């Protein structure tokens, strides 16, 4: 998830009309770029498993094993998390900050089911590898790649932004050696936890 500094309606108002115009233009540009993301993630919930099934079962004539199914489930679950994470960012840019307040607690709770699904998928994939190696099957390759994707998605949403290829600023920052920045969802969860501790 991209973690550009997203203009917030709760930030102090600009002192000049020029500053207001700049903030508004930046918000509009961010909204235009980020709005399709939640739709793409939502579509990928179905598309990624479907493509994996086609490549394994139809193209490679392999079997859809328990490892493949477990990895599909873990990946799709993380993509659902990504869909809602992006949607609340877009809602905030459109002037609806309550969306973040509503969804952040649920996405925080989803961290543990996501982690459990990843662990189960990895265990199933390792078990398949033990039973099939040194023969490399389409199902083993597919399950391994899906497990890797689920792990990367987990890190990308719950920890640091791994996605740097789709925005020039992020990519330049990455190449400059400044390291990874925290994901927007991670920041939202941290703010939510700090707020609930004070209550």
**pLDDT tens track, the chain, 199 positions:** 444 445 544 445 445 455 666 767 777 777 777 888 889 999 999 999 999 999 999 999 999 999 999 999 999 999 999 999 999 989 988 888 888 899 999 999 999 999 999 999 999 999 999 999 899 999 999 999 999 999 999 999 999 887 655 555 555 555 555 666 788 899 999 988 988 887 5
Q: How far apart are CA 168 and CA 55, in angstroms?
A: 32
Q: Is residue 5 part of a domain?
A: no
Q: Is residue 78 part of a domain?
A: yes
Q: Is residue 63 part of a domain?
A: yes
Q: Is residue 10 part of a domain?
A: no
Q: Is residue 171 part of a domain?
A: yes
Closest C-alpha among 74, 68, 70 to residue 51: 68
Task: Say how many domains are in the chain.
Answer: 1
48 - beta bridge partners? none
Q: How many other CB atoms are there within 10 angstroms of residue 89's CB atom?
A: 26
The whole-number pLDDT of residue 53 equals 97
Q: How far apart are CA 78 and CA 61, in angstroms?
A: 27
Domain hosting residue 21, numbered range: 17-198
pLDDT 10s digits, 135-176? 999 999 999 999 999 999 999 999 988 765 555 555 555 555
The whole-number pLDDT of residue 4 equals 46
Q: Is residue 117 part of a domain?
A: yes
* Residue 163 DSSP class: -
The whole-number pLDDT of residue 9 equals 46
The whole-number pLDDT of residue 14 equals 47
Do residues 117 and 70 make contact, with C-beta atoms less than 8 angstroms apart? yes
Q: Is residue 110 part of a domain?
A: yes
Q: How far apart are CA 101 and CA 106, in angstroms?
A: 10
pLDDT 10s digits, 1-11? 444 445 544 44
pTM of the complete model: 0.80
Q: Is residue 64 part of a domain?
A: yes
The whole-number pLDDT of residue 19 equals 63
């Amino acid at each position: 998830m991209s973690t550009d500094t997203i203009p917030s309606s709760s930030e102090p108002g600009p002192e000049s009309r020029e500053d207001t115009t700049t903030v508004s233009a930046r918000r509009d540009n961010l909204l235009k770029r980020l709005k399709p993301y939640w739709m793409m993630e939502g579509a990928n919930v179905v598309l990624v498993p479907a493509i994996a099934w086609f490549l394994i079962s139809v193209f490679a004539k392999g079997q859809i094993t328990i490892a493949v199914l477990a990895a599909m489930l873990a990946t799709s679950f993380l993509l659902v998390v990504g869909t809602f994470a992006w949607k609340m960012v877009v809602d905030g840019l459109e002037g609806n900050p309550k969306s973040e307040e509503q969804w952040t607690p649920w996405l925080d709770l989803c961290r543990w089911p996501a982690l459990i699904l990843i662990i189960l998928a990895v265990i199933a994939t390792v078990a398949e590898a033990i039973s099939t190696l040194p023969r490399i099957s389409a199902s083993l390759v597919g399950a391994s790649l899906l497990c890797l994707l689920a792990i990367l998605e987990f890190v990308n949403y719950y920890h640091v932004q791994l996605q740097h290829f789709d925005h020039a600023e992020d990519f330049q920052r990455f190449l400059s050696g400044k390291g990874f920045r925290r994901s927007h969802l991670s920041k939202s969860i941290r703010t939510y936890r700090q707020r609930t501790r004070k209550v």
